Structure 1
Amino acid sequence: MTTTHAPVGGLDAAAEPRARFSDLMAAEWIKLRSLRSTWFAYGATALAVVGFNAGTAYDTYTYWPQRSATDRADYVRAGMALQDAFTANSAMVMMLALGAIGALAIIGEYSTGTIRTTFAAVPARRSVMAAKTVVVTAVATVFGAIVAGTSFALTQAILAGRDAGLSMSHPGALRVVVASALLAPVCAVVGVAIGAVIRHTSATMIASVIVILVLPIVFTEGRHWSAVAGHATLYQAWLRLVEVNPRQTDFPWTTGGAWSVYAVWALTAAALAVTSTQRRDQ
């Protein structure tokens, strides 16, 4: 008698189809939603952001009678209520929080070692990272839309008690809401990219703070090169998009330029996140 040996892994393994991208996204969604800390972080961030904005609007509401008639008329005429719809403090909180959440989506797997299991099951690392990036971006986009929309509705409802609230149809209102909402997914993708490159929790958090928050503060409008560098940062792009009355500066720029900064940051971060793990040991 002769004995035949089946190939290693058997016929089923040899015929097993490659993972579809939709399957990879489903797996990444399961990873994300199974972590309670993720939802705690999103919830705390939402409360902080909406709380900052509502608190600012309520402060305006409280001290409204102390304003002069001219000041109140100027406030309404200039549409200054849009500045209370999404404040600079709330933008900073959301940028830092979403950057951290995005980074944790990848460095959490590196710190526990489960990334080895993921790449062993799906050797196509770029596909895995692309799926993770898409899922993180989608969740952050929904989060940003809910938070920005809620902030606008709540703050304008508060200010409406003084006949100072604005509707979404007011010129510039939609731009403020969309620009604020898109801060969430862009910063989340930046966090994923930084986490994929550095892969260590503490160093990633420090790098996120520097890239997202410190650099925009360092660059000023005093010199041309500094102004251009500052305009290329996310925070300053957001400031330009939500300006009610654009400031007169030596180096002005347009809202189109600010939108392009959003796009460049998002696309560059996504490309870096997808390709950074390709030639690494894990």
Structure 2
Amino acid sequence: MTTLDLPLVPVASVVEPRARFRDLVGSEWLKLWSLRSTGWSLLLGALAVVAFNFGTAWDHYRYWRQYDATSRAEFVANDMALWDAFTYNAALVLILASAAMGAVAVVGEYGSGLIRTTFTAVPARSALMAAKVLVVTVVQTVFGAVVAGASFWSTQAMLSARGIGLPITHPGALRIVVASALLAPVCAVAGMALGALLRKGAVSIVGAVALLLLLPAVLSDRRHLTAVLGHATPLHAWQRLADAGPPAGELFPWSAGGAGLVFALWALGGAAVTVLAVRRRDQ
């Protein structure tokens, strides 16, 4: 009997199961936290934001007795203690830290070449990027909540020593904390979108600074067009949500609901760009 006479035995083909979305989320979670820079960037970012807010409250605490009676009365009547809960400078630091982390979460794999291995192992690019967006959004939401909560607690505890601190139940206090917390994931997703489009770390971070920080600064609220464009940025939306009402004398006032819509559109738009940008482009 020769080998040609042996019966042919069919061999069942082995088909590798398709990766489940929760498996992709788990892998992206491990990938994010395997980087030492993740923990350090979150810690340093949180300390910087809280320090800016605490420093402003400390100035009011330290010089409170030097203010005249009129200034003290205006401070209390205008609920200016809430202004210390999350300051404008702290918001700028938060935007930069969150956008940079979002961009690095995407471009880090391109810079190391790991993205080729990732897309080879998981051909479903959109699902993979959606998992990455979900992981970064969750991490940044928790980060924003911790930073906003710690800032409010520390600043109001400091001011309470002078009898001018406000509780979280005070009108407008909770909205400041929530708006400041949500600013982090919104800007992180925007940074991810820039990273998916530009694919270079330095260029993506510079783009985030230009889009999220410099552009809102140059858009004047004195003309209708520039005011509307300014309202469409996350920074101006945060300012509107953090204020109890439209500033007195504002030429083109807008609602808190509109500011919340801006947050939602930036988050959804950034996620869509991140997911779709990798579908037909080469690594």
Shorter chain as normaliser: what TM range? over 0.9
Q: Distance in 1 between matches of 2:10 and 2:174?
A: 64
Q: Distance in 1 between matches of 2:132 and 2:47?
A: 26
Structure 1 pair 19–179 and aligned structure 2 pair: CA distance change class (3 A): same
Deviation, structure 1 residue 129: 0.2
Q: Distance in 1 between matches of 2:153 and 2:163?
A: 14
Aligned to 1:259: 260
Aligned to 1:277: 278
Q: Distance in 2 between matches of 1:164 and 1:35?
A: 43
Q: Distance in 2 between matches of 1:202 and 1:48?
A: 21
Aligned to 2:52: 52
Aligned to 2:185: 185
Q: Which moved more, 1:236-245 or 1:114-123?
A: 236-245
Q: How many residues end up aligned between the 2 structures?
A: 278
Tell me which amino acid in the other structure corresponds to 1:88.
Answer: Y
Aligned to 2:200: 200
Gaps of 5+ in 1: none
Q: How does 1:1-282 map to 2 (within 5 A)?
A: 1-2=3-4, 11-12=13-14, 14=15, 16-244=16-244, 246-247=246-247, 248-282=249-283
Deviation, structure 1 residue 213: 0.3
Contact 1:80 1:244 in 2 (8 A): no
SS at match of 2:13: helix
Tell me which amino acid in the other structure corresponds to 1:52.
Answer: F
Deviation, structure 1 residue 11: 3.1
Contact 1:83 1:244 in 2 (8 A): no
Residues 34-75 of structure 1: CA deviation (Å, up to 9, x unaligned): 101111111110000000000100100000001112221221
In terms of Rg, which structure is larger? Answer: 2
Tell me which amino acid in the other structure corresponds to 2:274.
Answer: A
Deviation, structure 1 residue 28: 0.1
Q: Percent identity?
A: 55
Deviation, structure 1 residue 77: 2.1
Structure 1's consecutive aligned runs of 4 or more residues displaced over 3 angstroms after TM superposition are 2-7
Deviation, structure 1 residue 246: 2.9
SS at match of 1:11: coil
Q: Distance in 2 between matches of 1:19 and 1:237?
A: 38
Contact 2:99 2:189 in 1 (8 A): yes
Q: Distance in 2 between matches of 1:57 and 1:151?
A: 10
Residues 113-164 of structure 1: CA deviation (Å, up to 9, x unaligned): 0000010000000000000000000000000000000000000000001111
